[in-house]
Amino acid sequence: MDNEKKNLAPDTELYNQYGGGVKAFMKAGHWVFLALVGLIFAMLVYFFTLGGYFAVSPQEAVIVLRFGKYEKTYTSDWHWFLPDPVTSKVVVPTSPQTLQVTFNAGIMPDQLPPPGPNGELPGLQPNRDRYLLTADANIIHASWSARFQVSDPALFYQKLRVPANPSGPDEIVVDEGEELGRRGPRTLLGRMLESAVITTTAQWTVDEILYSRQTEYREAVERAYRKMVADLNIGVVIEEVRINGKVMTPAVTQAFFDALTAARAEQGTMIDKAREYGVSTRAKASEESSRIIAAAENYRTMVVADVKAESLYFESFLKEYTENPRTALMSRYNAVLAEVMAGIDQKFVLGAGNGGKLWLKLGPEIPKAEESAKKADAPAQTTPAGGK
């Protein structure tokens, strides 16, 4: 008995020494357990309530996946689903997006090397410079951009390798530590735009592209690009394709094309001046033609009136002649003689026979309008025939 009490004495001492700490630890563990239970309960409440809520913002669509399989597409309002890992969502931007492709030289014109010893111009390097080839084997540089929009988010997601964040850059493809490029919808659309530009440019001449049919060339590229995307059926529509800046020729040949442009401008100016001269000349000719036609019309009217008057006189004389030929001829003779003699200042009539007398007027002919007034003042001087 005494031995048992002696054996329990050390345990009692140990309990008295460490019992308070053990109680505190057990109490703390109890509170930690309660906290963990509360946290787990709160997480479960959040998981089954607010954790599954999401709102669709404007200019975007949300694709819901259940265990990785397409479920539905939402474009507006609030929605709730069980959160990950049961349900996941992918946000696809539906606002217009822009991509750009370039076919420009890899160095600036001022960085070109000097000509060779025989005047050879530096050429393009395929590993550095990008360019387009026209139908007449000329080289041009251009930068293109396209604006597109996702019209069918579900089709876009299912048919393309869309990255986890569709609004971000495409996935980088790496093989054995070496970056090979990118893979994704923007890369695909960019390559298709390059193909449309290359194939269309090969069908147009440099003169058409640079000068005569610039708008038609851009529209042809846009039509080709739209058709490529529509045939692929990936839920994307092309809104616009445009050229950034100007289509340029290689720097070593740009001076020759600039000279050609200046010559074309001068040609256009001369053609415009020639057209203006043609318009003014035609206006003057039309005015002169109208004047000549009006004068001819007046002359025709006058001639017709004179002929009509002569016709009436002839008809009247014919009627008089038919009735009494001698009287008509004598009357006509006297009228003609009077008309002839009226224009002569001094008149002499010779051959008066049978001892008759002939009186001649030696003074100037007095106009008929003044004859009556002169008779009262002085008679005309006369002299017998044959005298002075």
* pLDDT digit string, tens, across residues 121-134: 566 666 678 889 99
- Do 188 and 229 form a contact (C-beta atoms < 8 A)? no
Quote the pLDDT of residue 36: 80
Sign of CA dihedral 108, 249, 213, 204: negative
By the 10 Å C-beta count (0-12 exposed, 13-18 middle, 19+ buried), 61 is classed as buried
In degrees rounded to 5, what are phi and psi of residue 22? -65, -40
Q: Is pLDDT of 385 > 50?
A: no
- Do 135 and 202 form a contact (C-beta atoms < 8 A)? yes
Q: Is pLDDT of 345 > 60?
A: yes
| C-alpha to C-alpha distance for 228 and 225, rounded to whole angstroms | 5
The domain boundary residue, chosen from 208, 233, 252:
252
Owner of token pair 């005309």: 380
Over residues 118-167, the pLDDT tens digits come to: 655 566 666 678 889 999 888 889 999 999 999 998 888 888 877 777 77
Sequence-ordered list of residues with C-beta below 8 angstroms from that of 101, at least 6 positions apart, any chain: 143, 144, 145, 190, 193, 194, 197
Residue 374 and residue 230 share a domain = no
Collapse the DSSP code of 293 into the 3-class scheme (helix H, G, I; strand E, B; otherwise coil) and give the result: helix
Q: Is pLDDT of 17 > 80?
A: no
Residue 329 and residue 387 share a domain = no
Residue 285 and residue 235 share a domain = no
- DSSP code string of 55-111: EPPTTEEEEEEETTEEEEEE-SSEEE---TTTEEEEEEE-S-EEEEEEE--SS-GGG
The count of domains in the chain is 3
Q: The domain that contains 135 carries what CATH number?
A: 3.30.479.30
CA-nearest of 257, 286, 254, 294 to 112 is 254
Q: How far apart, in Å, are the Cα atoms of 379 and each of 364, 374, 385?
A: 13, 8, 18
Band (370; pLDDT cuts 50, 70, 90): low
In a domain, 207, yes or no: yes
Question: Using omega within 30 degrees of 0 as the cis cutoff, is the peptide bond preceding 169 cis?
Answer: no
In a domain, 240, yes or no: yes
In the numeric block, which tokens belong to residue 301?
């009217």
In a domain, 241, yes or no: yes
- Is residue 237 within a helix (H) or strand (E), and if so which, with residue range? strand 236-248
Residue 337 and residue 349 share a domain = no
| C-alpha to C-alpha distance for 160 and 174, rounded to whole angstroms | 19
Sequence-ordered list of residues with C-beta below 8 angstroms from that of 160, at least 6 positions apart, any chain: 184, 185, 188, 234
More confident residue, 118 or 185: 185
In a domain, 25, yes or no: no
Q: Is pLDDT of 53 > 80?
A: no
> Of all residues in the chain, what percent carry a pLDDT higher than 70?
70
Domain that residue 385 falls in: 344-388
Residue 237 and residue 102 share a domain = yes
Residue 246 and residue 102 share a domain = yes
In a domain, 355, yes or no: yes
In a domain, 153, yes or no: yes
Q: Supply angle C-alpha 269, 275, 280, rounded to 5.
A: 125
| C-alpha to C-alpha distance for 187 and 171, rounded to whole angstroms | 9
Residue 228 and residue 368 share a domain = no
Alpha-carbon torsion, ordered 263, 265, 266, 269, to 10 deg? 160
Q: Is the pTM of this model over 0.95?
A: no
In a domain, 238, yes or no: yes
Residue 365 and residue 218 share a domain = no
Residue 292 and residue 156 share a domain = no
The domain boundary residue, chosen from 342, 357, 372:
342
Residue 363 and residue 217 share a domain = no
CA-nearest of 107, 88, 110, 100 to 164 is 88
The domain boundary residue, chosen from 217, 252, 287:
252
Lowest mean pLDDT among 28-42, 63-77, 269-283: 28-42
Residue 220 and residue 101 share a domain = yes
How much is the mean pLDDT over the chain? Answer: 77
Q: How far apart are the first and last CA of the chain?
A: 217
CA-nearest of 63, 88, 87, 89 to 75 is 63
* Averaged pLDDT, 160-185: 78
Q: How far is CA 373 from the centre of its chain?
A: 89
Collapse the DSSP code of 256 into the 3-class scheme (helix H, G, I; strand E, B; otherwise coil) and give the result: helix
- Is residue 248 within a helix (H) or strand (E), and if so which, with residue range? strand 236-248
Which amino acid is present at 55?
A: A
Sequence-ordered list of residues with C-beta below 8 angstroms from that of 341, at least 6 positions apart, any chain: 347
Quote the pLDDT of residue 336: 77
Quote the pLDDT of residue 363: 52
Sequence-ordered list of residues with C-beta below 8 angstroms from that of 38, at least 6 positions apart, any chain: none
In a domain, 39, yes or no: no
Residue 380 and residue 281 share a domain = no
